[in-house]
Amino acid sequence: MEPLHPVEVRVLGALLEKDQTTPEYNPLTVNALVNACNQKSSREPVVNYSEETVTEALAALQHKGLVVRISGAGHRVEKYGHRLGERLNLGRRELALLCVLMLRGPQTVGELRGRTERMHEFADMDEVEHVLKTLETHEPDPLVAPMVRGRWVHLLGGELPLPLAAPEDAPAVRNALEERVDALEREVMELKREFESFKQQFQ
């Protein structure tokens, strides 16, 4: 899938959230979507998009096949809905996790379980981890990746955020840090000896 701009991620995430939590109000008008994007709760970072910014993002998402415009009978104004699930063949569990990551940034498994309750009630942490692993191995492109400190991040923006977790590199990193600490401790001890020697000259 073509990488998304951060504004596109926010717009798509807001459409996804409202579809899952308040389906009776979907699809959304541009005005409703602007308010959803600029919401001050459950958002990281908080933004202040204009109607023009959201409209441009919607056009780009339509071009990428992730958003559909709905107009005609029953709709006095144009409304928009997402097609993320159909496009990537994802179920409600996967969409709930992606939605939180898109709207709130990197999250731990515990945070994800708590913050997806209105969209999908996961049985336990193991289920969350299982679905994350499914998204991590999604074909043709992974949709999430693990980071340091037990956090997970979405990859819809295309670029790998840093620092990502790299378990196979952990021993090497730890060894390098231990060597650096040892070297610093030796330097400190040497400075102490030199200082004591310097003090003795005046005693």
Q: Tell me: the pLDDT tens digits for 72-114? A: 656 678 999 999 999 999 999 999 999 999 999 999 999 999 9
pLDDT at 184 over 90: no
Q: Which residues contact 58 (CB under 8 A, 6 or more apart)?
A: 11, 30, 33, 67, 69, 80
Task: For domain 6-154, give the CATH number.
Answer: 1.10.10.10
Q: Which helix (H) or strand (E) holds 103?
A: helix 92-104
Lowest mean pLDDT among 1-5, 86-90, 117-121, 135-139: 1-5
Q: What is the pTM of this model?
A: 0.78
pLDDT top residue among 159 and 147: 147
Instruction: Name the β-bridge partners of 81.
Output: 68
Q: Report d(CA 105, CA 44) in Å as an integer.
A: 6
DSSP state of 74: T
**Chain center to CA of 34:** 20
pLDDT at 174 over 70: no
Average pLDDT over residues 127-155: 95
Q: What is the pLDDT of residue 105?
A: 95
Average pLDDT over residues 127-151: 94
Q: What are the tens digits of pLDDT across the range 123-134?
A: 999 999 999 999
CB 102 within 8 A of CB 89: no
Sorted by where each begins, the domain ranges of the chain are 6-154, 167-200
CB 80 within 8 A of CB 27: yes
pLDDT at 169 over 90: no
Q: What is the pLDDT of residue 197?
A: 77
Percentage, residues of the chain above pLDDT 70: 85
pLDDT at 178 over 90: no
Q: Which helix (H) or strand (E) holds 9?
A: helix 6-21
Which residue in the block uniquely carries the two structure tokens 């096949």? 65
CB 126 within 8 A of CB 113: no
Q: Which amino acid is at 67?
A: V
Crossing angle of helices 6-21/92-104, nearest 10°?
130
Work out the end-to-end distance of the chain between its first and last CA atoms, rounded to an integer number of angstroms. 75
Q: Which helix (H) or strand (E) holds 175?
A: helix 170-200
Q: What is the pLDDT of residue 108?
A: 96
